[in-house]
Amino acid sequence: MAASRPAPSAGVFDISTGTAELVPSIDGGWLLSINGAQSSHIDPENPDQLDFEYMRQAAAAIADRYRDRATPLRVLHLGAAACALPRHLAHVYPQSRHVAVEIDAELARLAREWFDLPRAPRLRIRVGDAREVTESLLPGTRDIVMRDAFSGSVTPEHLTTVEFTEAVRRVLTPGGLYIANCGDRRDLTSVRSEVSTIGEVFTNVELIADPSMFKGRRSGNIVVVAGDGPLPDSADLERTLRSDPEPARLMTGASARAFGSGRIRRDTPA
């Protein structure tokens, strides 16, 4: 008989890149913060639940594209933390396979210890740098690449350039999706640059966010969805986003392209 998994306990824990704090949330789940920044929320009893709005937005975009839950999706997650989104998608798509890349080895170990995450091959946690792992993969081996990697509140620069985005495109299957969680302040300088850069590589781009985020009235997250296949206006996706507890707007086509008015980012020459 297998030993029961120890229950998570609140506290501050040393990890390879600093500290992780685990605290219970009022809904019975657990909130994980990394070096003071909220990073993941997991309800051990409910893998359907996604507490962070940007994760619900990303999941909605995936569900709109891949409506058959028997689809054997192959998903690369760049940034793992507590693996909330991989766990959710593994539940929604039982035939899917996930690799979650986490740079912090101790955090990866703790996530496995704390939470009942799907085991390999359904979910493998790979310790390493997100760009190095992406560049090591064979072409055309992933249906979705989800970038949710942060150092504090900022995405590492080497994960935001044309060259990195080209590496993502190379590992995607034809028609695959690249989804990037972009955090920014109210001036939107960073996310406009990110949209320009991603749009330099991919044929089509669409954006999801709180309407006030698009207007520069708050700091927060904009989810960028990109691909070489069509990303048509979807009435179903728009309804899903509007009916969320934190309603969001879908920006597509020329409007999404025009939003990307910032500097295109390229690797700094060695």
Is 208 a domain residue?
A: yes
Query: What is the distance between the alpha carbons of residues 8 and 107, in angstroms, rounded to a whole number?
Result: 14
- Domain count along the chain: 1
Is 82 a domain residue?
A: yes
**Structural contact between residues 48 and 117, judged by C-beta atoms closer than 8 angstroms:** no
Is 265 a domain residue?
A: no
Is 87 a domain residue?
A: yes
Amino acid identity for residue 47 in this structure? P
Query: What is the distance between the alpha carbons of residues 95 and 180, in angstroms, rounded to a whole number?
Result: 23
How many residues would you count in the chain?
270
98: domain range?
50-259
Is 23 a domain residue?
A: no
Print pLDDT tens along the chain (270 aa).
345 566 789 999 999 999 999 999 988 899 999 999 999 999 988 999 999 999 999 999 999 999 999 999 999 999 999 999 999 999 999 999 999 999 999 999 999 999 999 999 999 999 999 999 999 999 999 999 999 999 877 899 999 999 999 999 999 999 999 999 999 999 999 999 999 999 999 999 999 999 999 988 888 999 999 999 988 789 999 999 999 999 999 999 999 999 998 899 999 886
Task: Say how many C-beta atoms besides its own lie within 10 A of residue 37's C-beta.
Answer: 13
DSSP 263: P
Query: What is the distance between the alpha carbons of residues 59 and 55, in angstroms, rounded to a whole number?
Result: 6
Tokens of 202: 């991919």
Q: Could you tell me the pTM of the whole model?
A: 0.95
Amino acid identity for residue 122 in this structure? R
Report the CATH number at residue 185: 3.40.50.150
